[in-house]
Amino acid sequence: MLWSTSVEILSAHNLRDPERTIEFLRVMMLHHPEDREVILKEMVLRLINSERQRDALDELELYLPSFPYQDNALLHLYAGLLSLYLGQPTSNIAQFNPTLLRSAQTYFERAKSLDPQNAMAEAFIRRIHKINGVDIHSTDKEESDEETPSVVSDKPKRKRVRTVND
Tens of pLDDT, residue by residue over 6-40, are 555 555 555 556 677 788 788 888 887 888 888 88
Residue 131 lies in a domain: yes
Say if residue 80 is in the same domain as residue 44. no
> Is 164 contained in some domain?
no
pLDDT at 76 over 90: yes
Does the pTM surpass 0.75? The reply is no
Domain that holds residue 37: 1-51
92 and 131 together in one domain: yes
Q: Return d(Cα 29, Cα 37) in angstroms, integer.
A: 9
Residue 82 CB: number of other CB atoms within 10 A? 26
Q: Is 45 found in the same domain as 9?
A: yes
Look at residue 114 and tell me if it is in a domain.
yes
Classify residue 3: in a domain, yes or no: yes
Answer yes or no: are the C-beta atoms of 80 and 108 closer than 8 Å: yes
Cα–Cα distance measured from residue 104 to residue 81, given in angstroms and rounded to the nearest whole number? 7
Q: Identify whether residues 35 and 87 lie together within a single domain.
A: no
What crossing angle do the helices spanning 2-13 and 36-49 adopt, rounded to 10°?
Answer: 10
How far apart are the C-alpha atoms of 78 and 99, rounded to whole Å?
A: 17
Decide if 105 is inside a domain: yes
Task: Report H helices in 32-118.
Answer: 36-49, 53-63, 73-87, 98-114
Instruction: Summarize the confidence of residues 43-55 as an average pLDDT.
Output: 89
Establish if 77 belongs to a structural domain. yes
d(CA 71, CA 114): 7
Domain co-membership, 79 together with 114: yes
Cα separation of 70 and 73, whole Å? 8
Total number of domains in the chain: 2
Query: Based on the domain organization, do 47 and 77 belong to the same domain?
Result: no
Same domain, 41 and 86: no
Q: Find how far residue 155's CA is from the centre of its chain.
A: 35
